[in-house]
Amino acid sequence: MPGTAAMLWAVAVLAQSPATTPDDPMTRVMQELEALRQQNAALAEGLDAMRRENKTLQGSVAELQAQQNEKWLSKEREAEVRQTVAEVMKDAETRSALRDGSLTSGYVYDRGFFIATPDGNFRLNLSGQLQIRYAASFYSNRDNDIINANTGAGVNRGTGAAPPPGSYLKNVSGFEIRRMKLDFFGHMIDPSWQYRVMLIYNQNQNALLTPGGNNAAGVAGSSNMGMEEAMVIKDLGEGWKISVGQFKSPFLQEEIVSSRRQLAVERSLVDQMFSTKFTQGAMLTWQNEQLIAEVMYNDGGSNANTGASAGFNNALYTDGVTTLNNGAGFAQWAVTGRLGWVVFGDWAGFRDMNNFRGESEGLLLNAWMNMQRGGQHQSPTVIGTNNIPLNGNADAEFLTWSVDATWNLGGANLFTYFVMNTAYSMPSTPTNDLGSINSYGAVVQGGYFITDEVELYARWEWMNTQNRGVNDIGIGNTGGNQTYANVFNAGRTNVYTVGFNWFLGGRIIKLTTDLGWTSDPLWFNNGIYGAGVLGTNYRVEPDGGGNQMVVRSQLQILF
């Protein structure tokens, strides 16, 4: 700095000059120069401070920037985490929620496990039922003495010599898998196109031609695993729908209610005698909140799993008179229908035969009808000289009708019905011109919950087939139909049952135990439409018998 150097040189020269006074001009110059030097030093010190402060500020700015970057990254991570959590929660909701419109998989009580598309247009449900039963049948002394008597005593002997005395057991007992079902159902394309396929293991229901015999086709322990239902349902809107395939024809409330929702261990013997069970056909249904009307054109009662031409032209007599269709059972035609009215309450309350505490009250009235023409023509070796039909597929026409009432009382229920069948248009024979055979049945049952989990129940049944002098149960007659335990033979009996239900796991796990007793002999192995007595654990009794007792206990699990 040239100016500064000159100023310092001048100060040095003046310093070598003679002393000056405070008022001397030179003194004032020196003082001003000193003040400038001090000011310059202060400025330099301030500049250094500013440099140091600037470095400090730079560090703070860098630190703040780093903090801001870290904070921004934290928010970004937080947003990512929130998004991930939201996706997981959404997935969990679609897996466990019970709103059909948003489900992809899960479990719903009484509907089972399911898989569905997110839009709800395709859905598959899978549910199951398992019934494990212990049962014991005790013939009375009268039963036992008659069926173990001499040749020809009792029913169901068939032709030939009777077994040696003592061949039949008075008491029998054991375990069984009464039912094991896998039920696949749902919809496709949209909820209006519905389907159902049910597979079942079911013990055989037909008995051997021996008193109380229970093994089908002569094979001890034989059973089957097959198709019970296979149907497509189209919901037409406004309460209308049409069903085609194999399913239960609409006849008898006790039969229509699922086996998983029965009051007793098993349906009544009256139901086995008259119910039409599973068949194949097409049904039109209309239903609103109070009324239902159904009509079905089908293959005939219990004629499931048969071909379209089952029984036709399986054999032909060469006498030019008699045509024998003696193959698989079939009917030429059958029409079944129902009218139902919920007087008060709602349809959901009548899906089962129980009415739990806290459930709503209601009253349901029904009328049912089944009419069919059998397709199996007369066969002297099967039907006998009196030409009595063996079942609803025989060469005759059958009209069966019923009325019932169900009354739910909120923790208790009553159910009753009357049913009648008339067999007519039976071809005459040289020895008999039988006009018609009438059969009747009635059931009254009720249950009452003594706790939230335990229900007591009782049931009375009555069955009667008229005696016209030609359809008696025969004793000592080894020819014709008289030796068969035929539902159209004359007979009558009362059955009394008491028991309890213990719901161990809500409605999913149930233990049922009951005791039944017949007042008069049970005279048939199979009902009018083929339902087997075996499924009830009762055994056929001989004419003059009666007082059979049956004890049953069953564990049921639904999944």
To the question of domain 100-558 being in CATH 2.40.160.10, the answer is: yes
226-238 as b/e, with b when 16 or more CB fall inside 10 Å? eebbbbebebeee
User: Which residues are within 8 A (CB) of 114 and not within 5 positions of it... i.e. 6 or more apart?
Assistant: 103, 105, 106, 107, 108, 123, 124, 125, 126, 186
Per-residue confidence (pLDDT) for residue 97, from 0 to 100: 45
Answer for the pair 148, 166: CB distance below 8 angstroms, yes or no. Answer: yes
Beta strands 190-203 and 412-424: pairing type? unpaired
Strand partners, 339: 293, 367
User: Which residues are within 8 A (CB) of 245 and not within 5 positions of it... i.e. 6 or more apart?
Assistant: 229, 230, 231, 232, 280
Per-residue confidence (pLDDT) for residue 28, from 0 to 100: 75
**0.85 surpassed by pTM:** no
To the nearest 10°, report the CA torsion of 272, 278, 282, 285: 60
The confidence band for 61, taking pLDDT boundaries of 50, 70 and 90, is low
* Residue predicted with more confidence, 165 or 401: 401
| The two three-digit tokens of residue 416, written as one number | 């009753």
pLDDT tens-digit map of 400-443? 999 999 999 999 999 999 999 999 888 776 666 667 899 999 99
The confidence band for 108, taking pLDDT boundaries of 50, 70 and 90, is confident
User: Which residues are within 8 A (CB) of 544 and not within 5 positions of it... i.e. 6 or more apart?
Assistant: 142, 146, 475, 521
- Mean pLDDT is highest, among 151-155, 205-209, 271-275, 322-326, for 271-275
Strand partners, 416: 405, 444
Residue type, 556: Q
